[in-house]
């Protein structure tokens, strides 16, 4: 029976150290978490600017609930597109300097919209091997040929683009890789998109709000031109502190998504209070240079503090700082040792990362203090000493 097979499957996951366990928080998202009834210093969230519980955003959400209610009642195309949704789209387009933006309930849905709307089974997607799961699923849904190139390897990508006879080509990449923290070679990818007449779709979930002038993201950091072949996806549940996502680009591409993307059309519009909260979140991002420079200093502090450990820190200059451990069990053990000392750093295992590449994913936020980072550094040094002894 199917449920007995599931039981075997679950037992296999447990035996392989792959069972996921959720912890329940009893405090808002922030460095000082209350989790499973205990206090812990958290290095887990994607709340890179510390906005998730910002009083001005909370107040905007409350005001908007009073003004607009909570539910939107329908999909955007039917009757669920309220004024705050319209305003956030216009603000986002202006902020990232593209013709138009479309607001989505989540980044996962945005990615599922983009790829199948642009390519089908006559076409080919050229995807970085370390792309986020939502991008992989988007390609599967499109039925396009899925051509994966080694991480960041633009020479191999150029070769594969040259060989391809596909009708349409689409290059698909994370801007900041979510489990490694490194950046895609965006200028080279854009040059290849031009040379081979391809779309370039960039998922900036971890760059938006953090990188580039004014937090405008990775595209702005690399000063990529405003080209119709470039589509930008940004998420709003990470640095922007709320939830949702957007796709920005050429007005025809955005109109096409609105007309055709099934994950846009066949889902209820998210609450207007979230869009209203995001308007304030965008103001805080725009004025967030102090938060961003504090975050950059914390990254430096962590990296120099951990330089002498037996585990290697990935070459990342972003808020995502993975400590590479290797084995699943060893990663979980280290994560548990830290937790017993009141530090919460998640162990990331396959299938989120390749087999043998389990790690601790340390993520920093502007809400952390120097002392928070020093506490983590001291604990990891101590764990390393005990590991050797």
The verdict on 273 binding ligand PLP (CB under 6 A) reads no
**Among the residue ranges 106-114, 256-264, 325-333, 353-361, the one whose residues contact ligand PLP (CB under 6 A):** 106-114
Residue located via tokens 């072949």: 229
Hey, what are 388's tokens? 């050797």
- For residue 142, the minimal CB distance to ligand PLP (Å) is 16
**Are the C-beta atoms of residues 363 and 46 closer than 8 Å to each other?**
yes
- For residue 138, the minimal CB distance to ligand PLP (Å) is 10
The verdict on 235 binding ligand PLP (CB under 6 A) reads yes
Question: In this complex, which beta carbon is closest to ligand PLP, that of residue 154 or of residue 178?
Answer: 178
List of E strands, the chain: 32-35, 38-42, 100-104, 124-128, 145-149, 169-174, 199-203, 230-235, 245-249, 312-313, 320-326, 343-344, 347-348, 358-363
Among 45, 72, 106, 316, binds ligand PLP (CB under 6 A): 106
* Residues 131-150 as x/- pattern, contact with ligand PLP by CB under 6 A: -x-x----------------
Hey, what are 346's tokens? 């998640």
Query: Is 238 marked active-site?
Result: yes
Hey, what are 373's tokens? 């980072």
Q: What is the spatial distance between Cα 133 and Cα 173, in angstroms, rounded to a whole number?
A: 11
Residue located via tokens 């919460």: 344
Hey, what are 233's tokens? 């996806």
The verdict on 178 binding ligand PLP (CB under 6 A) reads yes
- For residue 104, the minimal CB distance to ligand PLP (Å) is 8
Q: What is the spatial distance between Cα 233 and Cα 43, in angstroms, rounded to a whole number?
A: 25
**Among the residue ranges 82-90, 101-109, 214-222, 274-282, the one whose residues contact ligand PLP (CB under 6 A):** 101-109
Question: In this complex, which beta carbon is closest to ligand PLP, that of residue 72 or of residue 134?
Answer: 134
| CA atoms within a 13 Å half-sphere pointing along the CA-CB vector of 356 | 0
**Number of helices followed by number of strands (H, E) in the chain:** 14, 14
Among 82, 205, 285, 343, binds ligand PLP (CB under 6 A): 205
Among 174, 291, 353, 372, binds ligand PLP (CB under 6 A): 174
The verdict on 152 binding ligand PLP (CB under 6 A) reads no
The verdict on 203 binding ligand PLP (CB under 6 A) reads yes
The verdict on 271 binding ligand PLP (CB under 6 A) reads no
Query: Is 178 marked active-site?
Result: yes
The verdict on 241 binding ligand PLP (CB under 6 A) reads no
Q: Omega before 351 cis (within 30°)?
A: yes
Say which of 76, 85, 132, 206 is annotated catalytic.
Answer: 206
Q: Concatenate the DSSP letters of all residues of 254-323 into one string.
A: HHHHHHH-HHHHTSBPPPHHHHHHHHHHHHHHHT-HHHHHHHHHHHHHHHHHTTTSSSEEPS--SSEEEE
Question: In this complex, which beta carbon is closest to ligand PLP, that of residue 311 or of residue 361?
Answer: 361
Give the active site residues: 178, 206, 238
Question: Which residues sit at the interface with ligand PLP, rule CB under 6 A?
Answer: 106-108, 111, 132, 134, 174, 178, 203, 205-206, 235, 237, 245
């Amino acid at each position: 029976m199917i449920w007995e097979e599931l039981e075997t499957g679950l037992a296999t996951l447990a035996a392989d150290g792959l069972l996921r366990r959720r912890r329940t928080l009893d405090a808002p998202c922030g460095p000082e978490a209350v989790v499973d009834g205990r206090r812990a210093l958290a290095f887990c969230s994607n709340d890179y600017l510390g906005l998730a519980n910002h009083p001005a955003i909370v107040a905007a959400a409350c005001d908007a609930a009073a003004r607009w209610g909570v539910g939107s009642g329908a999909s955007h195309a039917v009757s669920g597109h309220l004024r705050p949704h319209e305003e956030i789209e216009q603000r986002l387009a202006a902020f990232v300097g593209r013709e138009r933006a479309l607001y989505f309930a989540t980044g996962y849905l945005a990615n599922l919209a983009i790829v199948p709307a642009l390519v089908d089974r006559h076409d080919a997607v050229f995807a970085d091997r370390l792309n986020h799961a939502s991008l992989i699923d988007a390609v599967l849904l499109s039925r396009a040929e899925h051509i994966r190139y080694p991480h960041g390897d633009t020479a191999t990508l150029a070769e594969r683009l040259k060989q391809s006879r596909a009708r349409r080509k689409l290059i698909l990449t994370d801007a900041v890789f979510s489990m490694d923290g490194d950046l895609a070679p965006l200028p080279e990818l854009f040059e290849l998109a031009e040379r081979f007449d391809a779309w370039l779709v960039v998922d900036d979930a971890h760059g938006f709000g953090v990188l580039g002038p004014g937090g405008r993201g990775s595209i702005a950091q690399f000063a990529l031109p405003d080209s119709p072949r470039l589509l930008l996806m940004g998420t709003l549940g990470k640095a922007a502190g709320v939830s949702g996502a957007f796709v920005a680009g050429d007005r025809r591409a955005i109109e096409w998504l609105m007309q055709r993307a099934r994950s846009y059309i066949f889902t209820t519009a998210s609450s207007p209070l979230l869009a209203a909260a995001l308007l304030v979140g965008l103001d805080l991002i725009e004025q967030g240079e102090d938060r961003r420079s504090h975050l950059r200093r914390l990254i430096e502090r962590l990296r120099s503090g951990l330089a002498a450990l037996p585990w290697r820190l990935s070459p990342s200059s972003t808020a995502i700082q993975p400590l590479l451990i290797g084995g699943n069990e060893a990663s979980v053990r280290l994560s548990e040792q830290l937790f017993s000392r009141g530090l919460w750093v998640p162990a990331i295992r396959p299938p989120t990362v390749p087999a043998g590449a389990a790690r601790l994913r340390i993520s920093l936020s502007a809400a952390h203090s120097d002392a928070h980072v020093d506490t983590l550094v001291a604990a990891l040094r101590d764990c390393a000493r005990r590991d050797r002894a």
